[in-house]
């Protein structure tokens, strides 16, 4: 009973309105601006309709499917081989001609009816124009979000070169196995259906497949550098990264009993280095966090080099025995920090697990030191 | 227990007696007849099954009608609603009166009255503009719901359902190898059809010519090939012995088959595969008209139950598998179907579809032969238990080694709440009032009515919108851009901005915003629950 009461009395916050009225902007508009906007209205309507056709909005799927078929037929006609004189090819040509005419006529018909409607209707209010502009910008936004270019990670010259290289190889392969005419037609079909909701949903579902991700990230997999296996490599990378700090032992806060164990004296001058290794995990199908990660992304343990690129490495505990050249562990053990959460592409989200988080990392830190002045003498002893 | 139910029954009866004493008489008459002949059976199915013992068709009718009435009393009892009571009571009464019109001829007048009464009642309780369905033509006279038409249609439908059930019977017989030569003919025809789809048009023509027209001609002008009935049949058919899937399951309840009728020339001309169905029809023809209705009603009931369960399973598939209830399995299914589609599409020109389809049909039909199926099912049971063991050993292993990952970005939106303060007695003193989801500007309805705004006193009591959840990594944050949210609501001219607050003479408020996230919409509930 009390639970239902609670449910009834529950107070839910409301969303921030997604399409707020820009009243202030409208009030500040100059008359010339208003007039020019209302003159632009038909153009805006045409643009909106174009976007609707690209995004498969505002009409049934049958309508757009028929349009695609008409497009194919008319393309077939426009780039047809007209030398053949068989009855069948003449029939195909005739159907192509018809569909080309139909396509052109439907566009012309739309324009004429649009202008007729505008003439007979009341002139558009500022509200109408602003709504239309909002709708157009929103649709352009969707176009931008869904486009392939926005999905490619172009962050350096190298990635541009790789993308151009890979796509030209694909293009070349396609051109060599299918005729130019077919290539053009299939490219246009692809363009005309790419933004439909069916294709977009299919792409998203395909993206859930690990196999497909592995294929798409094939380049990343080869770009991956060799994992760090020895403590020497680990130290050399972290030395470059951090500003070397030369300190007196007296400046360090070390327990004396531990100093005895690692043979240190207060007067020794040392080089101290903080080794940082990240442990990485991924959330799998709502089943929980596992160290199983994709082969193209960072491994279960990784470090950052000076250029902030990720390098895989062994587990921290496996580095314990590889001490060399007077390097000694300053801390007794690895200090493990809390998890930090990221989204699926390792972009930072926050310190708490939420629906947005699909990967997480935590730092393993341990300081290591190298004696400088008394190095030689100690070695001799 | 039985005394308890009988007292309840008597209470119901008295209620009935007060309202419809005449109806009660008939109910009681039927009930007495039931208790006299067969006290235990209540369902129609068991009564029809019990008709193997020779009893008159009238007794059968009384039993069926009586058990219907009994069932309806049982059904009505928990319901207190008077209209419903009257409705179902008169329905049963109507049915009963129709069936027994030969004995209680005086009822027909009252029957008519109840029809009119019910139609009026329905017309009164239904809204005037009922939602329309799609029709082939636009001009259509709207037909009101009428019990009279409905029962008339149902009655004539049940009378005419023979053909449909016959077709159903023969299809079942063909698929279960109970008519082996028929099954083989079907497969041969299917093979021909696969190699030349034109036969899809030719075969119906052939059926009309020889299935109906030649038959009709031969009935009117018998070929006079009188065959004398053999006393005993010698020898057996090879196909029947090897391939028969067992005798026909369809019961022929009545034993009074006239032997003279079997000598009818029109029937002896029939080939082997149709003989069973002819027998069925014959036995149905033997039943009196009203018994046939009951049998057909039972079959109709079975059919509707079947349709409903099929619909239920379809709905389950639509809601759960196709509705991504289990995202992982649905995604796998989608990708699998896509893969099959692409493979078949790319191979379609290189496949001999006629051969593939026909061989698939032959192998499937042979695979599902009752004799073979039993042997195969024993083997597959063994395999299944092994597979289950395999599966169980895999479940519970920690890292899910699979190819599907669900890491879609959740939907992100922002919610707002207004922290309201009321002006105190001393100037410059503001008293905290509430966290509300309204700005509570002077034009607010509640404020005009001099009431408090809806809201809570503690920010922790504010919940996210239904089916959304707060992002754990975000907290309520004060929106410092007051002029923006004020102008979006058209309030910046009416009120002053001071720091993070928007102030009017009585109240001031600031906006707090927070991120909320949602992974997916819940799947819709099934329509019938």
Predicted complex ipTM? 0.81
CA-CA distances (angstroms) from residue B302 to B45, B291, B309? Answer: 10, 17, 11
Q: With bands split at pLDDT 50, 70 and 90, how would you rate the model's confidence at B140? A: low
Interface test with B, best of A209, A355, A358, A360 (most B CBs within 10 A): A355
pLDDT in tens, B30-55: 555 554 444 444 433 443 444 444 45
A229 pLDDT more than 90? no
Q: Is B396 touching A (CB cutoff 8 A)?
A: no
A11, A344, A354: residue with CB nearest B407:
A344
Compare all CA atoms of chain A with the CA of B438 and give the residue at the minimum distance.
A14
Beta carbon pairs, A and B, within 8 Å: 124
Residue window 71-100, chain B: list those with CB within 8 Å of chain A.
none
pLDDT in tens, B4-32: 555 556 666 656 555 555 555 555 555 55
Poorest-confidence range of A162-171, A179-188, B39-48, B489-498?
Answer: B39-48
CB atoms A349 and B473 under 8 Å = yes
B444 pLDDT more than 90? no
Poorest-confidence range of A145-154, A173-182, B297-306, B513-522?
Answer: A145-154
CB atoms B331 and A205 under 8 Å = yes
Q: Is B192 touching A (CB cutoff 8 A)?
A: no
The pLDDT assigned to B272 comes to 45
Q: Name, of A19-28, A183-192, B148-157, B283-292, the range with top average pLDDT.
A: A183-192
CB atoms A206 and B399 under 8 Å = no
A16, A354, A355: residue with CB nearest B415:
A16
Interface test with A, best of B328, B404, B407, B410 (most A CBs within 10 A): B407
Compare all CA atoms of chain A with the CA of B413 and give the residue at the minimum distance.
A15
Predicted structure pTM score: 0.72
Q: Name, of A208-217, B25-34, B397-406, the range with top average pLDDT.
A: A208-217
The pLDDT assigned to A139 comes to 93
Q: Name, of A371-380, B19-28, B372-381, B501-510, the range with top average pLDDT.
A: B501-510
CB atoms A208 and B331 under 8 Å = yes
B274 pLDDT more than 80? no
Q: Name, of A145-159, A169-183, A229-243, B183-197, the range with top average pLDDT.
A: B183-197
- Chain A residues closer than 8 Å to B417 by CB: 13
Q: Is B497 touching A (CB cutoff 8 A)?
A: no
A15, A206, A208: residue with CB nearest B465:
A15
A206, A285, A350: residue with CB nearest B328:
A285
Which residues of A sit within 8 Å Cβ distance of B? 10-18, 20-24, 202, 204-206, 208-211, 213, 283-287, 290-292, 341, 343-344, 349-356, 358
CB atoms A284 and B454 under 8 Å = no
The pLDDT of A10-20, averaged and rounded, is 81
């Amino acid at each position: 009973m009390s639970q239902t009461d609670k449910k009834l009395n529950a107070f839910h916050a409301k969303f921030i309105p997604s399409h707020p009225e820009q009243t202030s902007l409208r009030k500040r508009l100059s008359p010339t601006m208003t007039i020019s906007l209302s003159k632009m209205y038909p153009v805006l309507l045409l643009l909106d309709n174009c976007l609707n056709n690209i995004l498969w909005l505002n009409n049934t799927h049958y309508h757009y499917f028929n349009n695609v078929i008409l497009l194919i037929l008319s393309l077939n006609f426009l780039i047809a081989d007209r030398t053949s004189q068989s009855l069948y090819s003449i029939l195909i040509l005739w159907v192509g001609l018809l569909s080309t005419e139909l396509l052109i006529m439907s566009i012309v018909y739309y324009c004429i009816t649009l202008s007729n409607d505008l003439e007979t209707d009341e002139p558009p209010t500022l509200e109408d124009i602003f709504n239309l502009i909002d709708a157009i910008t929103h649709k352009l936004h969707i176009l931008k979000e869904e486009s392939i270019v926005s999905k490619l990670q172009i962050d350096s010259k190298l990635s541009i070169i790789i993308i151009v290289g890979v796509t030209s190889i694909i293009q070349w392969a396609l051109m060599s196995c299918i005729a130019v005419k077919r290539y053009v037609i299939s490219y246009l079909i692809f363009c005309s259906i790419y933004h439909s909701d069916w294709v977009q949903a299919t792409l998203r579902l395909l993206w859930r497949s690990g196999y497909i991700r592995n294929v798409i990230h094939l380049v990343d997999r080869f770009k991956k550098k060799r994992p760090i296996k020895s403590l020497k490599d680990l130290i050399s990378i972290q030395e470059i990264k951090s500003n070397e700090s030369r300190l007196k032992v007296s400046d360090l806060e070390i327990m004396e009993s531990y100093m005895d164990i690692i043979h240190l004296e207060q007067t020794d001058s040392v080089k101290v280095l903080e080794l940082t290794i990240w442990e990485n995990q991924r959330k799998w199908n709502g089943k929980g966090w596992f160290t199983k990660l994709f082969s193209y992304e960072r491994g279960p343990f990784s470090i950052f080099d000076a250029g902030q690129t990720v390098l895989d490495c062994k587990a921290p505990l496996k580095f314990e025995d590889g001490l060399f050249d007077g390097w000694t562990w300053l801390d007794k053990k690895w200090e493990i920090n809390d998890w930090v959460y990221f989204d699926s592409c390792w972009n930072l989200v926050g310190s708490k697990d939420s629906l947005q988080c699909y990967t997480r990392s935590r730092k393993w830190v341990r300081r290591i030191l190298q004696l400088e002045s008394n190095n030689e003498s100690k070695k001799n002893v | 227990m039985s005394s308890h139910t009988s007292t309840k029954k008597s209470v119901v009866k008295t209620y009935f007696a007060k309202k419809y004493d005449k109806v009660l008489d008939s109910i009681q008459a039927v009930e007495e007849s039931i208790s006299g002949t067969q006290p235990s059976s209540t369902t129609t199915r068991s009564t029809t099954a019990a008709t193997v013992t020779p009893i008159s068709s009238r007794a059968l009718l009384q039993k069926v009608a009586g058990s219907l009435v009994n069932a309806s009393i049982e059904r009505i009892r928990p319901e207190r609603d008077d209209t419903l009571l009257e409705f179902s009571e008169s329905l049963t009464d109507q049915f009963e009166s129709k069936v027994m019109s030969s004995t209680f001829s005086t009822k027909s007048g009252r029957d008519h009255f109840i029809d009119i009464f019910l139609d009026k009642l329905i017309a009164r309780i239904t809204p005037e503009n009922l939602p329309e369905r799609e029709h082939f033509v636009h001009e259509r006279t709207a037909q009101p719901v009428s019990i009279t038409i409905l029962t008339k249609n149902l009655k004539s439908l049940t009378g005419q359902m023979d053909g449909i059930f016959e077709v159903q019977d023969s299809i079942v017989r063909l698929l279960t190898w109970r008519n082996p030569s028929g099954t083989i003919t079907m497969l041969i025809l299917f093979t021909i059809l696969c190699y030349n789809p034109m036969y899809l048009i030719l075969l119906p023509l052939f059926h009309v010519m020889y299935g109906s027209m030649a038959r009709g001609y031969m009935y009117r002008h018998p070929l006079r090939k009188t065959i004398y009935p053999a006393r005993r049949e010698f020898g057996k058919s090879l196909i029947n012995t090897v391939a028969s899937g067992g005798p026909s399951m369809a019961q022929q309840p009545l034993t009074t088959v006239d032997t003279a009728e079997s000598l009818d020339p029109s029937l002896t001309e029939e080939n082997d595969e149709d003989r069973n169905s002819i027998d069925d029809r014959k036995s149905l023809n033997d039943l009196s008209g009203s018994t046939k209705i009951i049998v057909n009603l039972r079959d109709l009931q079975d059919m509707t139950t079947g349709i409903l369960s099929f619909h239920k399973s379809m709905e389950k598939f639509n809601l759960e598998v196709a509705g991504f209830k289990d995202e992982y399995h649905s995604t796998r299914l989608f990708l699998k179907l896509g893969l099959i589609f692409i493979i078949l599409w790319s191979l379609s020109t290189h496949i001999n579809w006629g051969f593939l389809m026909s061989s698939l049909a032959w192998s499937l039909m042979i695979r599902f032969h009752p004799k073979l199926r039993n042997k195969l099912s024993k083997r597959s049971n063994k395999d299944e238990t092994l597979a289950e063991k395999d599966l169980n050993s895999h479940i519970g292993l920690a890292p899910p080694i699979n190819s599907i990952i669900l890491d879609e970005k959740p939907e992100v939106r922002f919610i707002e709440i207004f922290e309201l303060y009321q002006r105190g007695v001393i100037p410059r003193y503001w008293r905290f009032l509430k966290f509300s989801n309204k700005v509570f500007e002077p034009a607010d309805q509640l404020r005009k009515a001099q009431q408090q705004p809806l809201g809570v006193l503690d920010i922790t009591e504010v919940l996210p919108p239904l089916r959304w959840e707060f992002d754990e990594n975000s907290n309520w944050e004060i929106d410092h851009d007051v002029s923006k949210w004020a102008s979006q609501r058209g309030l910046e001219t009416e009120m002053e901005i001071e720091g993070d607050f928007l102030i009017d003479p009585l109240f001031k408020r600031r906006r707090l915003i927070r991120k909320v996230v949602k992974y997916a919409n819940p799947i819709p509930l099934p329509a019938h629950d």
